[in-house]
Chain A
Amino acid sequence: MTAPRWIAEPLLRVDRLTMRFGGLVAVNDVSFSVGRGDVTALIGPNGAGKTTLFNCLTGFYKPTVGRIAFSQKGLQDDSRIEALTASSRRYSRDGGEDLFLLERMPDYEIARKAKVARTFQNIRLFAGMSALENLIVAQHVALTPASGYGLFGLLGLPIYRRAEQAAVAKAQRWLERIGLRDRADDPAGALPYGDQRRLEIARAMCAEPSLLCLDEPAAGLNGHESAELAQLLREIRDIDCASILLIEHDMSVVMAISDHIVVLDYGQKIADGAPEQVREDPAVIAAYLGVEEAEADAVESALGMEEQK
């Protein structure tokens, strides 16, 4: 048996990440890695620190302690990570191999340079703008140089018109893929809930990310819509070759599409492995279902809680 992809070919590595808010430790010494081309699920009960971890990855929070290394081509060389960590730089691009330390970068730079895109638990579309415009805004970073930082576009030069046509064509492909082609000109806020969820994913994908972070993409969807979503995510992994990291409570979606599952509880990692492994893990079952008083000791020792005196 070969080593799983998240060990053999990681794209993202989180090392000993801790996030404190005053006295509250939301994420406590969590380490894991995300395999290139995998769908990785981050699960855990409410308040386990999943969204906090997401916000650290995407730069919305600065972690208290820890390192988040990311490379679009995969993190092969530990010595390079160490060298970059020792330097004061946020990323290095020597030899065409990018390497980013996400905990040092501001949020927009993570999206722009490291190509990590995300969606939000409470949908954050540009509600007053049309579905098409939402997808065009997502291509802002690519379109801005073509518009001559506004100047070529202001003068109406063909170089910008061509770039815009390409952006529209890409947006149109995505609208067709998520079945919203005929609602392209409707305000995004007026779309049904499930469509808004899919549109937010399409918007993130229009930024051409190498890692797509989804915060509860199936929340509020019915069974049929969840199945459609799972299909869309599988296509994103297989056709668009983006790695996916998702937070999800809907186990039918998680088990259907995940290659790798990381389980958090009370800010700590309690399990990490392939779906079949995690499903059988006593600590995970205990975290989700609770345990009898008598079993608690056994679970605690399995978790290594005795260290915490």
Chain B
Amino acid sequence: MSAPQPLLSRAFKEASLAAVIVGGLSYPIIAFRAEPDFNNALALTSRWPLFFIFCGLGFGLRFLLTLWSGRPKAARGEAALALEKPGATSKNRWLAPLGLAALIAYPIVILVVLGPQAALKWVDTFGVQILLYILLGWGLNIAVGLAGLLDLGYAAFYAVGAYAYALLVPLTGLSFWALLPICGLLAAFWGFCIGFPVLRLRGDYLAIVTLAFAEIVRIVLVNWDVVTHGEAGLFGFPPVTFFGLPFIPGPRGFAAHFGLPFAAVHKLIFLYFVVLALALLANFVSIRLRRLPLGRAWEALREDEIACRALGLDTANIKLTAFALGAFFAGIAGCIFALRQGVVSPSSFTFNESATILAIVVLGGRGSQWGVALAAVLIVGASELLRELSFLKAIFGPDFDPAQYRMLLVGLAMVAMMNFRPRGIVSARQPTITLPPVGGRA
């Protein structure tokens, strides 16, 4: 009964404290900026309005958060161990086909609405790129979400796939479709190799070792000049073709063959559908495997490794398969990355990349296919969208570049997740098998 008044004053107190902390932290990095002046000497310029905006944001967010979390506990019951009820799945039955239809229609709708020139960006960054991250997220979800093996070096497998394509194309002259599974298998083999020495490690230790392995891969790529051409990377592999039809203007091109006017976006739309198909394949395999002994063993391994061994499960094999299958999908994604980018260089496979993919899996809810897809759209899509918000310049001044605040946004998403959905966007786990209710349905 007496809750509202103390809550408000408590929220005010905590928010003031948060504002002071934000002020203290941002004073050296936001309030001042060192820029070279006309004489090329560094001069301090102050940015007080921006500094106070940050303090105000800290105050406001903390104030709202305290008000929200101070509500009676009953109002926000999120069970620690939520399993979806069997009845709930039938309600969501239309979600999957609907989502699929939307994904298939997306590039065509964009093309029709925006025209071939403006559609380029929307199909490429918001279509192909997000789908690529969804594919990577679903791959990592096998290791992190299902098997509970915290992998901080997933970008290494991504790099193996991309470099495998870049190196094998001139060497073998094989087409993209032939190299796609080879890239996947090579990455899976690498996952297998990394998996072996770390079999006995768990949790934090495993995370550190995978992180180190990813750095080793990256540093080898940087320094092995003869093969990888160092930081410059590899480029100049053949462009995407539609089963042999090149996407070029002229009579031999894809557009002419189908009687369409030539547009650069055709290539991207084709790439979009390739990624979509492969992502759906990853999704299908994950969903199917969850209902098989192997997938159940992964989840059991995540829950309790010792109990697994007591039941006769060979945990070494189970971990290796999770690592290798996760790596396989990363290899495939890497192959597409190389094809899309036309150039592979070590700078594309830094720890930042691993962290982004892991953030997608953790934010989405470990083990949830829907959650991972949503989180990929959120993290990749939102940070790309920031580049579009040029109207913010009108508010914050012409020097303001919203794209520089991408990481801040990821941080905010993480804080929001910790407070509102600590187990990710989709936290309820769907049982892989259920018994019909006693006595059948009425």
Contacts and interface: CB of A to CB of B under 8 A. Distances in A.
Nearest to A171: B435
A186 interface: yes
A207 B294 contact: no
A58 interface: yes
B312 A127 contact: no
A292 B55 CA distance: 74
Interface string B68-110: 0000000000011111011000000000000000000000000
B313 interface: yes
Contacts of B174: none
Contacts of A129: 296, 299-300, 303, 429, 431
Given A124-B304, A124-B307, A184-B434, A153 B292 contact: yes
A187 B433 contact: no
B288 interface: yes
25 contacts: A60-B309, A111-B309, A117-B310, A120-B307, A120-B310, A124-B306, A125-B304, A125-B307, A127-B303, A128-B429, A129-B431, A130-B433, A132-B433, A133-B433, A137-B308, A140-B296, A140-B297, A141-B311, A141-B312, A150-B294, A168-B435, A175-B435, A181-B435, A185-B86, A189-B81
B290 to A, nearest CB: 10
B394 interface: no
A280 interface: no
Interface residues of A, dominant DSSP: helix
B81 A190 contact: yes
A108 B292 contact: no
Contact of B300 (A120, A126, A150): A126
B295 to A, nearest CB: 8
4 residue pairs, one from A and one from B, having the closest CB atoms: A112-B312, A111-B312, A126-B303, A153-B292
Contacts of B303: 125-129
Given A132-B434, A133-B431, A126 B292 contact: no
A132 B435 contact: yes
Contact of A207 (B302, B304, B311, B433): B311
A85 interface: no
B3 to A, nearest CB: 30
A285 to B, nearest CB: 34
B434 A140 contact: no
B315 interface: yes
Contacts of B288: 153-154, 156
Interface in A238-283: none
B310 A111 contact: yes
Interface in A162-205: 164, 168, 172, 175, 181-182, 184-187, 189-190, 203-204
A127 B81 contact: yes
B46 interface: no
Interface in B252-298: 285, 288-289, 291-294, 296-297
A221 to B, nearest CB: 20
A52 interface: no
A147 interface: yes
A120 B306 contact: yes
Given A132-B431, A133-B432, A154 B300 contact: no
A144 B297 CA distance: 10
A125 B435 CA distance: 19
A138 interface: yes
A130 B296 contact: no
Contacts of B292: 147, 150, 153-154, 160
A173 to B, nearest CB: 11
B387 to A, nearest CB: 39
Contact of B311 (A137, A150, A160, A184): A137
A261 B292 CA distance: 42
Which interface residue of A58, A144, A204 has the most chain B CB atoms within 10 A?
A144
A25 B438 CA distance: 52
Contacts of A164: 433
B314 interface: yes
